[in-house]
């Protein structure tokens, strides 16, 4: 077995063959699924905790504050302490709430983001499933989360929660279109929906450079729409704390609240990694065709570094948005989508199709 941080294919094959040699294929498959599940769960928790910490630090940076700095060096254990606190808190049950839906809602939200994460390629050979309809799958699965939010708002027996859930429903259904169409623009350019192939096609240049003008427009639209889809500021109407106290998760406490909280950050991570994969080449290093020496140096940087670097940059952009802009109103939010983003997107797809037909892309 050769463990190679540039290519995980042989490592995966080694695990697969090893398991198959000691047990029946069915059990090997089940064991593999369990391993992947545990690895993703750990990854989910670690990334979630790290993002909460990062958000607090970025927010503090924007607001002339220091941020968490007491628990551990630079406060890095602050989120872990917070998480333990949330674990130990009492789960408050609301009178006259729909118990079943109330309990199910956080799981739906977290499962949706968890499932979508499985299609993301982290490095060469390092993805759970490589669908040939990867992008479609991610769009389909990640929009399941809205069901959880609607259920949470509906079952809480709280009018604020209900208003938050209604807003969230309208918002996510609308912005889903823009997310889908902006990704479609790139699919037109790439000709495939499989993530591994999309990444492989960007070996000679990321799509944002290859598709130049329409790709940049699509990226900006995707960034706006995905910020809205993850219910983050300036589109955080569903949990607008100054209007609706905390919107759909007002009545949740303890670990269930933590689930919503974690899911928000994981959704942010997810859309950032989709943006990084589709527009910025995912784990693919920065290559300039013709510059062989430069490309070789870039190749020495491990794919995981590229991947997380790009994702972190997009997450950082989204955090800057949140801590800069005031919140939109619900009608302005829908106007932005239906009157501006959607027409821009449709024209952009035509433009991109024309570009591909004429071979005007790089």
Partner 1 sequence: MKEIINLPVSKIEEEEYHINMGPQHPSTHGVLRLLVSLQGEIVKSLKPHCGYIHRGIEKMCEKDTYPQVIHLTDRMDYLSAHINNHAVCLLVEKALEIEVPERVKYIRTIMDELTRIQSHQLWWSSFGMDLGGLTCFFYGLRDREMILDIWEETTGSRFLQSYNCPGGVMQDIHPNFQKKVHAFIKTFKKKIKDYDRILSGNVIFENRSQGVGILSKEDAISYGVTGPSGRGSGWSCDIRKIEPYSMYGQVHFNEVLRYECDTYSRYMVRMQEMHESMNIIEQLIDNIPAGDHSAKMKAVIKLPAGEYFQRVESARGELDVYVVSDGNKTPYRMKFRTPSFTNLGVLDHISRGMKIADLVAIGASLDLVIPDIDR
Residues that bind partner 1 (CB under 8 A): 59, 62-65, 159-160, 163, 167, 233-234, 236-237, 240-245, 323-332
Q: Which one, 217 or 328, has the nearer CB to partner 1? A: 328
We find the least distance from the C-beta atom of residue 46 to partner 1, in angstroms, to be 26
Q: Which one, 43 or 321, has the nearer CB to partner 1? A: 321
Q: Do the beta carbons of residue 91 and residue 253 sit within 8 Å?
A: yes
We find the least distance from the C-beta atom of residue 59 to partner 1, in angstroms, to be 8
Give how far Cα 49 sits from Cα of 42, 105, 262, 277, Å: 11, 21, 8, 22
DSSP 8-state code for residue 123 = B
Give the CA radius of gyration of the chain: 21
We find the least distance from the C-beta atom of residue 254 to partner 1, in angstroms, to be 20
Q: Which one, 25 or 326, has the nearer CB to partner 1? A: 326
Look-up of token digits 């695990």:
15
In the structure encoding, which two tokens stand for residue 109, read together?
A: 């939200």
Q: What secondary structure, in 3-state letters, does 156-188 show?
A: CCCHHHHHHHHHHHHHHHHHHHHHHHHHHHHHH
Q: Which one, 21 or 63, has the nearer CB to partner 1? A: 63
We find the least distance from the C-beta atom of residue 239 to partner 1, in angstroms, to be 10
Q: Which one, 197 or 243, has the nearer CB to partner 1? A: 243
d(CA 336, CA 331): 9
Sequence-separated (6 or more) residues with CB below 8 Å from residue 145: 108, 109, 112, 113, 172, 263, 267
Q: Which one, 108 or 238, has the nearer CB to partner 1? A: 238
We find the least distance from the C-beta atom of residue 159 to partner 1, in angstroms, to be 5
The burial class, CB within 10 Å (0-12 / 13-18 / 19+), for 70 is exposed
User: Cα angle vertex 149, ends 165, 67, to 5°?
Assistant: 95
Sequence-separated (6 or more) residues with CB below 8 Å from residue 103: 256
Q: Which one, 65 or 70, has the nearer CB to partner 1? A: 65
Taking the CB of residue 41, how many other CB atoms lie within 10 A of it? Answer: 11
Q: Which one, 10 or 332, has the nearer CB to partner 1? A: 332
Provide the phi-psi class of 125: left if phi over 0, else alpha when psi is between -120 and 50, else beta. left
Q: Calculate helix-pair angle for 159-190, 254-280, nearest 10 degrees.
A: 20
d(CA 268, CA 320): 13
In the structure encoding, which two tokens stand for residue 31, read together?
A: 């064991």
């Amino acid at each position: 077995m050769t463990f190679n941080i540039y290519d995980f294919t042989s490592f995966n094959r080694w695990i697969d063959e090893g398991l198959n040699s000691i047990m029946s294929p069915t059990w090997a498959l089940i064991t593999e699924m369990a391993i992947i599940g545990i690895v993703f769960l750990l990854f989910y928790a670690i990334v979630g905790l790290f993002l909460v910490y990062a958000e607090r630090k970025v927010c503090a940076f924007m607001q002339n504050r220091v941020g968490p700095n007491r628990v551990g060096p630079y406060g890095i254990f602050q989120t872990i302490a917070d998480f333990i606190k949330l674990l130990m808190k009492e789960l408050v049950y609301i009178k006259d709430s729909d118990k079943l839906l109330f309990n199910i809602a956080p799981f739906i939200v977290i499962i949706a983001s968890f499932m979508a994460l499985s299609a993301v390629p982290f490095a060469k050979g390092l993805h759970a499933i490589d669908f040939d309809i990867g992008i479609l799958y991610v769009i389909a699965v990640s929009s399941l989360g809205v069901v959880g939010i609607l259920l949470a708002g509906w079952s809480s027996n709280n009018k604020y929660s209900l208003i938050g859930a209604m807003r969230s429903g309208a918002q996510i259904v609308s912005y889903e279109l823009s997310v889908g169409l902006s990704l479609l623009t790139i699919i037109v350019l790439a000709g495939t929906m499989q993530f591994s192939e999309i990444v492989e096609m960007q070996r000679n240049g990321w799509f944002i450079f290859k598709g130049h003008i329409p790709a940049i427009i699509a990226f900006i639209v995707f960034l706006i729409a995905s910020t809205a889809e993850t219910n983050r500021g300036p589109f955080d109407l569903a949990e607008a704390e100054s209007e609706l106290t905390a919107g759909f998760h007002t009545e949740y406490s303890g670990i269930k609240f933590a689930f919503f909280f974690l899911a928000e950050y994981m959704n942010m991570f997810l859309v950032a990694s989709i943006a990084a994969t589709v527009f910025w080449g995912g784990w693919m290093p920065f290559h300039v065709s013709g510059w062989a020496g430069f490309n070789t140096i870039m190749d020495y940087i491990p794919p995981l570094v590229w991947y997380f670097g790009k994702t972190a940059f997009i997450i950082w952009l989204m955090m800057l948005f949140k801590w800069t802009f005031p919140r939109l109103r619900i009608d302005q939010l829908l106007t932005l989508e239906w009157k501006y983003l959607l027409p821009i997107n449709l024209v952009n797809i035509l433009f991109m199709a024309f570009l591909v037909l004429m071979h005007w892309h790089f």
